[in-house]
Amino acid sequence: MRRTSAADRRGVRAAISHDVAMATPSGSAAVLDHLAALGVAYELVECDPDFADTAQFCERYGYSMDASANAICVVGKSAERPIACCVVLASTRLDVNGVVRRRLGTRKASFAGAEETVARTGMMIGGVTPFGLPDDIEVWIDSRVMDCDAVILGGGSRDCKILCPPEGLTQIASAEVVADLAKTLS
């Protein structure tokens, strides 16, 4: 595992062992444990929490929106409140009211609010990742994500991101690649 400071992205990268608990960004221990258990190759990229939202992160640290993914929690509006974590490229738009709603099996669906996201995932918006989620949350990956050489997405907290090959996402037990989960932006 490599860990780099996003501030140093254009310069020298420093490798730091993830065994040093004090150096691990807050909120990401379950994520790092899950990545290790799955055997996924990854790089931990630290970032300023004020720039954790995707567009700001990409602009500040020089990542392409076409290689950056959003992990978005969507809930069905029914008594059961089914939830899924949808992984889509930042350059696309999640089809919440079409594909996602139908897959949830509800008449309506919406993005999970900040409070519900934390309550159900243990992660804040801006840091949500499909790694380390509770077992009852399905992970749906837009097929376009699989076309990337590497993808950067939330790291479990707002102070880090995970850079990994997209095939690593398919190692998650509840993961499924879904065609047209997102739409291209016009």
Q: Is 92 helix (H, G, I), strand (E, B) or coil?
A: strand
Please check the confidence at residue 85 and state whether its pLDDT lies above 60: yes
**Which tens digit of pLDDT belongs to each residue from 111-129?**
999 999 999 999 999 999 9
In the chain, the percentage of residues whose pLDDT exceeds 70 is 85
Q: DSSP per residue over 25-75, as a string?
A: PTT-HHHHHHHHHHT---EEEE--GGG-SHHHHHHHHT--GGGBEEEEEEE
Q: Which two tokens stand for residue 164?
A: 């990994």
Is the alpha carbon torsion for 25, 89, 41, 170 positive or negative?
A: positive
Taking the C-alpha atoms of residue 148 and residue 87, their distance in angstroms, rounded to an integer, is 13
The helix (run of H) or strand (run of E) holding residue 110 is strand 109-111
Query: At residue 14, does pLDDT exceed 90?
Result: no
Mean pLDDT check: name the lowest of 14-28, 52-66, 138-152: 14-28
Contact assessment for residue 176 and residue 145, using Cβ atoms and an 8 Å cutoff: no
DSSP 179: T
Q: How far apart are the C-alpha atoms of 5 and 26, rounded to whole Å? A: 15
pLDDT in tens, 24-43: 444 478 999 999 999 999 99
Of 78 and 131, more confident? 131
Least Cα distance to 74 among 31, 108, 124 occurs for 108
Segment 67-83 mean pLDDT: 95
pLDDT in tens, 121-153: 999 999 999 999 999 999 999 999 999 999 999
Tokens of 125: 């918006």
